[in-house]
């Protein structure tokens, strides 16, 4: 993985963890990249960092659960 991609993945994860109401869409707007890239950064590319990956994975699951409740 490129250094720039790795740094972006970590930055996205830090934003996602630090911002209580962060979503994939809000992160995509902040970082000016697509939602699919954000999702890939948070799921696949963070696997190199197990602790960060676990925290983000938990938050993604919570967001998914909340989204289902809203529908």
Q: What is the pLDDT tens value at each position of the chain, 71 positions in all?
A: 788 999 999 999 999 999 998 999 999 999 999 999 999 999 999 999 999 999 999 999 988 887 766 65
Q: Is 19 left (phi over 0), alpha (psi -120 to 50) or beta?
A: beta
CA–CA distance, 56 with 43 (Å, rounded to integer): 8
So what's the pLDDT on residue 3?
87
* Contact criterion met (CB below 8 Å) for 42 and 56: yes
Radius of gyration over every alpha carbon of the chain, rounded to an integer in angstroms:
12
The pTM (predicted TM-score) of the whole model is: 0.85
CA dist 71 → 42, 65, 66 (Å) = 24, 10, 9
């Amino acid at each position: 993985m490129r250094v720039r991609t790795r740094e972006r993945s970590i930055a996205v994860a830090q934003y996602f963890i630090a911002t209580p109401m962060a979503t994939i869409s809000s992160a995509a707007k902040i970082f000016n990249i697509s939602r699919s890239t954000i999702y890939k950064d948070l799921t696949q590319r963070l696997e190199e960092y197990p602790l960060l990956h676990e925290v983000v994975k938990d938050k993604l699951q919570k967001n998914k659960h909340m989204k289902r409740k809203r529908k």
